[in-house]
Amino acid sequence: MYKFSMQAGLVALGLSLLALSGCSTISSGVESVGKGIVYVGESIEKVTTDVKVEKVDDERFNLSVNFHEPVKNLDSWAMRIEAREVCPKGYVYLSRNARKTGGFAYSDAQCEAEMSCGYALEWRIKCEDVPNEPFSLFGKT
């Protein structure tokens, strides 16, 4: 009986290792495809969006970009791309703001009707050694 359970244990261990190596191959393949998709998306975003960069000192930068839509969040692919270019080792946010002289629109319908929906997204960043997040199909973890 000992001999049988030992063989079963070795088979189970072998299957586990095979399954884990398969997961590794799948996850590295997904990561490669994901990086390719991100590269294409970032290339399009970089060409279509004009981010202004102002150097404050060697470590600090002010970035801004204009949008003509309701404020949905304070994040922007174009701003992330530009921030990585000025801070290749990584960066931290000092502040992120949406600035407008009038009131903000809350929906696309308001933009089509009576409101002006333009606003400036502004980031203040500081260059620091921050590792890149690994790609994930499920967003940030």
pLDDT digits (tens, 9 = 90+) for 83-134: 999 999 999 999 999 998 777 877 888 777 777 788 999 999 999 998 876 6
Tokens 């398969």 appear where? 22
Q: Please report the beta strands in the chain, taking only residues with DSSP state E, as ranges in sequence order.
A: 52-55, 60-68, 91-99, 118-127
Q: Classify 87 as helix, strand or coil.
A: coil
- Exposed, middle or buried: residue 123 (CB in 10 Å: 0-12, 13-18, 19+)? buried
pTM comes to 0.60
